[in-house]
């Protein structure tokens, strides 16, 4: 009986022990057996982030890079940089980070903080953002690691790259800004950089108000620097953006075309109105203001003159000439006021030759003929003949006796006649002088008018030439794209 009790006790003891150990093992096992933890322990026990992850040290680590352009924050023409948000995808094989999936419960992917693994020292070489050092351009996002050792590092960067802005065809310009990705220290013996997709991805691109994204072609180049005998690999993504010109067309170019046309009308304004010079100067000022708007946005470069600035430059030159010529015409128009006679050569050039071609005819010379008739009239009339007057004088002085002896009535009549003739002569000479002065005035005015009409035609031609040359240039630029 004693043995039976002892046996039962023993069984019970064993059972409790088993249940105890069993419950213990249930609590303990998941902690010990977590495959990810075991994997991290295995992979990172002796991992050094500085060691290049390739066993064959003579070979470079092949790093593949791809970019997605997320947003253009700013393209500054003045400071010549492109500020943008980039997503960068890099992948390489880390031979220290491989595992057998079967031993780790089929674990097919782990995520590792990127500061815990080796990373290529790739950076954007032409970065100009002074707030970030070259090595801190990419954000410290975690990397994905696969059993075969492939590491995918998806990172992002808010960077400013230097970009040579060419404003020759402004506002129809296209800008090419190149993102140069290259290892900073490792030359081709250590890192062989290549690109994956043949073009940068613009899938996530946020539409920009001014710039249309045309494409992001990529090329790879091995570059030798004077410092080092071995070449460095550069992968260059060229961001091609084209400006949407509508803003500039509607706000700057189109308002100026009517201004140019109005400048021609300055020559149609009557000289007497006295508004010509002020109209020309107002137009000139308006153009200068527009030109100022444009130059505010342009890089202060002397290499090229933007298309739009060329247009405004030509317009300003035309308007300046127009203003000075207007002043000259006003001067000519009022020359006659002081009775200054017209030089013969002016008359020949303007009235005979140019006036003839422009169909400017002198007014029929009523007044001139009238005055001529007046002088002739005396002769025809006979009574008030100048020579007869002279005889009267002569007679009065010389043959006094004869006069005295004549009939007193006749004598008086003769005297009256004589005074009348004197008066008439006075009036005709005055008339003649007056009409001569008016003739001169009219001649000057005619010259001014001829000059006006000539310049009106010249300015129409110049305006058309300027507009046509600018717009053919614009058309060529469009066709080129
Ligand atoms: C490694 O594994 C990943 C994920 O399974 C795969 O996409 C990649 O092509 C593999 N790389 C190589 C070199 O086999
Ligand atoms: C680097 O990679 C490219 C493209 O895969 C290859 O053509 C080239 O031979 C590689 N260079 C070296 C030195 O491994």
Tokens 């400013």: give the residue: 160
| Ligand 2, CB cutoff 6 Å, lining residues | 60, 188, 192, 194
Q: How far is the CA of 186 from the centre of ligand 1 (A)?
A: 25
458 preceded by a cis bond (ω within 30 of 0): no
Q: Which residues contact 389 (CB under 8 A, 6 or more apart)?
A: 417, 418, 421, 422, 425
Rounded CA-CA distance 172/161 in Å is: 22
Question: Which atom of ligand 2 lies at the shortest distance from residue 59's CA?
Answer: 14
Residue 120: partners with Cβ closer than 8 Å, 6 or more residues away? 61, 63, 90, 92, 183, 186, 191, 193
Among the bound ligands, name the one nearest to the CA of residue 193: 2
- Residue 195 beta carbon below 6 angstroms from any ligand 1 atom: no
Report pLDDT for 371: 43
pLDDT of residue 185: 92
pTM over 0.85: no
Which letter, b or e, does each residue of 427-455 get, where b requires 16 or more Cβ atoms within 10 Å of its Cβ? Answer: ebeeeeeebeeebbbbbbbbbbbbbbbbb
Q: What ligand is nearest to the CA atom of residue 222?
A: 2
pLDDT computed for residue 30 by the predictor: 66
Q: Identify the residue whose C-alpha is closest to ligand 2 atom 2.
A: 192
The four Cα atoms 316, 320, 322, 326 give a dihedral, to 10 degrees, of 150
Give the per-residue pLDDT at 265: 85
Residues 6+ apart with CB under 8 A from 186: 120, 121
d(CA 298, CA 116): 46
- Calpha distance 329→352 (Å, rounded): 18
Phi, psi of 231 (to 5 degrees): -75, 155
Contact 190, 131 (CB under 8 A): no
CA distance 222 to 205: 29
Pocket test for ligand 1, best of 101, 111, 146 (most atoms within 8 A of CB): 146
Domains of the chain plus CATH, in order, are: 61-243 (2.70.170.10), 248-333 (1.20.58.390), 336-468 (no CATH)
> Is the Cβ atom of 150 under 6 angstroms away from ligand 1?
yes
Helix (H) or strand (E) holding 61: strand 61-76
81 lines ligand 1 (CB under 6 A): no
pLDDT, residue 428, reads 93
Tell me, in angstroms, the distance from the centre of ligand 2 to residue 193's CA: 8
The ligand whose atoms approach the alpha carbon of 221 most closely is 2
CA of 424 to the centre of ligand 2 (A): 116
Digitized pLDDT (tens) for each residue of the chain, 481 residues in all: 567 777 777 777 676 666 555 555 444 566 677 899 999 999 999 999 999 999 999 999 999 999 999 999 999 988 899 999 999 999 999 999 999 999 999 999 999 999 999 999 999 999 998 887 878 889 999 999 999 999 999 999 999 999 998 888 888 889 999 999 999 999 999 999 999 999 999 988 999 999 999 999 999 999 999 999 999 999 999 999 999 888 888 888 888 888 888 888 888 888 888 788 899 899 999 888 888 887 887 777 777 888 888 888 888 898 899 889 888 888 888 888 877 888 888 888 878 888 778 777 776 655 444 444 444 444 444 444 445 445 445 555 555 555 555 567 888 888 999 999 999 999 999 999 888 888 888 888 888 888 888 989 998 999 899 888 888 887 887 777 6
Is any atom of ligand 1 closer than 6 Å to the C-beta of 109? no
Res 71: pLDDT: 95
Whether 296 contacts 234, CB under 8 Å: no
Cα 232 to ligand 2 centre (Å): 12
The structure tokens 């109209």 sit at 279
The whole-number pLDDT of residue 136 equals 86
The pLDDT value recorded for residue 363 is 65
CA distances in angstroms from 247 to 250, 293, 367, listed in the order given: 6, 13, 61
Q: Could you tell me the distance, in angstroms and rounded to a whole number, from the CA of residue 148 to the centre of ligand 1?
A: 6
Does the beta carbon of 101 sit less than 6 angstroms from any atom of ligand 1? no
**Ligand approaching nearest to the C-alpha of 59:** 2
């Amino acid at each position: 009986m004693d043995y039976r009790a002892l046996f039962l006790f023993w069984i019970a003891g064993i059972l409790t022990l088993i249940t105890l150990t069993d419950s213990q093992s249930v609590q303990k096992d998941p902690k010990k057996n977590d495959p990810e933890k075991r994997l991290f322990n295995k992979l990172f026990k002796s991992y050094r982030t500085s060691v290049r992850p390739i066993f064959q040290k003579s070979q470079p680590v092949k790093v593949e890079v791809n970019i997605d352009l997320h947003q253009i924050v700013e393209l500054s023409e003045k400071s010549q940089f492109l500020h943008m948000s980039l997503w960068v995808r890099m992948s390489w094989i880390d031979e220290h980070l491989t595992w057998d999936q079967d031993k780790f419960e089929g674990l097919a992917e782990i995520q590792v903080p990127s500061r815990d693994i080796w990373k290529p020292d790739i950076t954007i070489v032409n970065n100009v953002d002074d707030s970030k050092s070259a090595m801190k351009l990419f954000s410290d996002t975690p990397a994905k690691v696969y059993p075969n050792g492939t590491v995918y590092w998806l990172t992002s960067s808010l960077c400013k790259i230097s970009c040579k802005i060419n404003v020759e065809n402004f506002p129809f310009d296209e800008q090419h800004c190149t993102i140069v990705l290259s290892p900073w220290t490792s030359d081709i013996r250590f890192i062989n950089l290549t690109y994956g997709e043949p073009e940068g991805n613009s899938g996530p691109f946020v539409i920009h108000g001014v710039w249309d994204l045309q494409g992001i072609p990529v090329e790879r180049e091995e570059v030798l620097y004077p410092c080092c005998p071995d070449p460095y690999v550069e992968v260059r993504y060229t961001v091609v953006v084209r400006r949407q010109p509508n803003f500039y067309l509607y706000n700057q170019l189109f308002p100026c075309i009517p201004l140019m046309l109005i400048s021609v009308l300055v020559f149609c304004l009557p000289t007497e109105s006295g508004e010509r010079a002020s109209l020309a100067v107002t137009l000139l000022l308006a153009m200068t203001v527009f030109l100022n708007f444009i130059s505010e946005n342009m890089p202060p470069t002397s290499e090229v003159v933007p298309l739009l600035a060329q247009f405004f430059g030509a317009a300003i030159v035309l308007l300046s000439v127009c203003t000075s010529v207007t002043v000259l015409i006003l001067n000519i128009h009022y020359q006659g006021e002081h009775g200054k006679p017209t030089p013969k050569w002016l008359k020949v050039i303007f009235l005979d030759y140019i006036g003839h071609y422009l169909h400017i005819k002198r007014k029929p010379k009523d007044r001139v003929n009238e005055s001529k008739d007046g002088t002739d009239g005396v002769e025809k009339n006979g009574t008030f003949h100048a020579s007869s007057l002279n005889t009267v004088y002569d007679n009065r002085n010389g043959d006094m006796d004869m006069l005295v002896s004549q009939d007193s009535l006749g004598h008086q009549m003769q005297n009256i006649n004589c005074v009348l003739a004197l008066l008439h002569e006075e009036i005709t000479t005055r008339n003649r002088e007056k009409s001569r002065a008016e003739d001169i005035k009219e001649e000057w005015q005619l010259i001014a008018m001829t000059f006006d009409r000539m310049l009106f035609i010249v300015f129409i031609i110049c305006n058309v030439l300027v507009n046509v040359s600018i717009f053919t240039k614009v058309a060529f630029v469009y066709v080129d794209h």
